[in-house]
A = this chain, B = another copy of it.
Amino acid sequence: MSFKNDKRTRILRAAVKVFAQKGFYNAKVAEIAKGAGVADGTIYLYFKGKDEILISIFEEEMAKFIAKAHAQIESASQIDHKLRAFIHTHLDFVKNNPKLAQVFQLELRQSNKFIKEYTGSKLKEYLNLIGELISEGQRQGVIRADIHPGLAKRAIFGALDEVATQWVLLKRNKYDLRQSADQIADMFLRGVTNNQTSMKGGASP
């Protein structure tokens, strides 16, 4: 009534719930339809198929999330603070959206279509937030020039993703994600080693 695309939104919302609860493969389209209060066939007016629902959830939530991450980055002035802000935003999202996180970390990867045919732009866009941070830092001379932004963005994303997945899998979470965020930021910014000691020269004097 009040919203355009009312049904589309309702379908997506219902799908997140069902996917998180049953898993992608066990989720029945009929159940999503029921949850959304539409007929089974109606779903196919808005989405090409079950995989596309999943991918749409990803794309659309990512769009929102990218905007938020972007804002968080902008609110920091220095590169290291920006990267730290990014990392925090990433893990905060996981912590604050457990259902979506379940879908992103676990269910999404079970869709062949997503893994092997995903051509959407949001993931790339998200990764580029990191890539651009690195590049910017290099221009400022804060980040080493030999760092390959295209690799660094994958490494940082991969680290966050893995930690996020563990957090989702271990429903009773041993570690605090906020603390983890800080540690991960430290690792990437300063490395795991004691800076005083030149690693090149070795640990011994």
Residues in chain A within 8 A of chain B (CB atoms): 23, 25-26, 78-80, 106, 109-110, 112, 115-116, 134, 137, 140-144, 146-148, 150-152, 154-163, 166, 169, 175, 180, 183-184, 186-195, 197, 199, 202-203
Q: Give the 4 A-B CB pairs with smallest separation, nearest first.
A: A158-B162, A191-B191, A155-B159, A142-B203
Question: CB-CB < 8 A to A152: which residues of B?
Answer: 183, 187, 192
Contact: A142 with B197, CB < 8 Å?
yes
Contact: B187 with A190, CB < 8 Å?
no
Given known contacts A109-B110, A162-B155, A193 and B199 CB-to-CB distance under 8 angstroms: no
Assembly CA distance A149 to B167 (angstroms): 16
In the assembled complex, 18 residue pairs joining A and B whose CB atoms fall closer than 8 Å, in A order, are A23-B112, A25-B112, A80-B193, A106-B116, A109-B110, A109-B115, A137-B203, A141-B194, A143-B192, A148-B175, A148-B180, A154-B162, A155-B163, A155-B183, A158-B161, A187-B188, A188-B188, A189-B199
Contact: A151 with B191, CB < 8 Å?
no
Main secondary structure of the interface of A (DSSP, over half): helix
Contact: B159 with A193, CB < 8 Å?
no
Question: CB-CB < 8 A to A157: which residues of B?
Answer: 162
Closest to A140 in B: B203
Minimum CB–CB distance from A19 to chain B (whole Å) comes to 13
Given known contacts A115-B106, A144-B193, A199 and B163 CB-to-CB distance under 8 angstroms: no
Minimum CB–CB distance from A107 to chain B (whole Å) comes to 9
Contact: B190 with A199, CB < 8 Å?
yes
Minimum CB–CB distance from A178 to chain B (whole Å) comes to 12
Minimum CB–CB distance from A46 to chain B (whole Å) comes to 17
